[in-house]
Structure 1
Amino acid sequence: MAELQRFPKAVFSQGDEPDARFSLANERTFLAWIRTALALLAGGVALEALGLGIHPGYRLAASVLLILAGIMSAFQAWSGWTRTERALRRSSPLPSAPFSLPLTVLLVSVAVLVLVGIVLK
């Protein structure tokens, strides 16, 4: 019987099969990033849709940044999962999250925009 093709081949064609507990933990981290992405996207849409008495220009800017942060979180989910799975398969050190700093800057920017938007309403 032929071995099943696993996706993505760039990950599963390398190294040895790691302990399933580590792969499952990596998958849970991926899903946590996806949940975060969904929450950020929903927050951006809700902020603009509900208004909430925030200055319209600042509200729109904060909404766009939240949506961008949601998109970046989804990329972090995929990038983090693939890089970590490869590291596990190669028995090499685990990688850092490359989108952590940009996401932090985006979310601080959103907080400042919302705060200024509330003050200037």
Structure 2
Amino acid sequence: MSPEFYKIIHVIGLICLFTGIGGFLTYGNDQQPRMKMVAILHGAGLLLLLISGFGMQAKLGIGFPIWIVIKVMLWVSLGSLLMLAKRGVLAPRNAILVGLLIGFVSAYIGLTWKYGFSIPAAIAG
């Protein structure tokens, strides 16, 4: 599959992920049937992002530079955002701001640090 295919799947995953986050923060814990759909959207978005991201990495043959490691950590933090909001650790307003900040940082990293930002060989091993 071409890198463009993976990019399209990546964007679809982003839409699903942020729709799920927005839906959760809109409905809260009140409406159980809608919460199931929100959780499915959130999980499907995370899965699409992971598969398409690693698919692009393999297709481009770029190895494992540090910016990919950072993006995986950001992916995990976006995945835990709903749990933190559901348990009351983050207020909904703060969860929205944190989600947007993580999304902006992730987009910046993905669009600018393509091939030149990696762990120096002396540190890597």
Identify the structure with the greater helix proportion: 2
How does the TM-score come out when normalised to structure 2?
0.48
User: Which structure is richer in relative contact order (CA contacts within 8 A, separation 6 or more)?
Assistant: 1
